[in-house]
Amino acid sequence: MADIYNKRVSDLKGLGKKSEECLNEIGIYTRMDLEKIGAIGAFLKMRSECCVEPSLNLLYAMVGALEDKNWLKVAKEEKGRLLMELEGYKELEALLRRGG
């Protein structure tokens, strides 16, 4: 069971070499790394630190990789929740920047 957590990002369902390169850029190399920060956290970190702007499809693929689901199924079933979470993080960041 421990081997599943040490899987390289590109070995996870729905994530390939291009996704792996972007995730490596922000310090995510394994499933365990992705689980620690979470798909939303990784997406936001990629937005601010990666040379390539991540798409929502990549967010769905990361969620799918962690839940062992196809990214299209994630997009269909969890899109609303994920977009609300992203919006919540944006609002929190704005509050913190304003000092309040």
Residue carrying structure tokens 């944006």: 90
Domain ranges of the chain: 2-98
CB 20 within 8 A of CB 10: yes
**pLDDT tens readout for residues 17-38:** 999 999 999 999 999 999 999 9
**pLDDT tens readout for residues 42-77:** 999 999 998 889 999 999 999 999 999 999 999 999
Q: Tokens in use for 84? A: 């609300």
pLDDT tops 80 at residue 4? no
Q: Which CATH code for domain 2-98? A: 1.10.150.20
Distance CA 30, CA 96 (A): 30
pLDDT of residue 15: 95
Q: Tokens in use for 88? A: 């919540």
Helix, strand, or coil (residue 30): strand
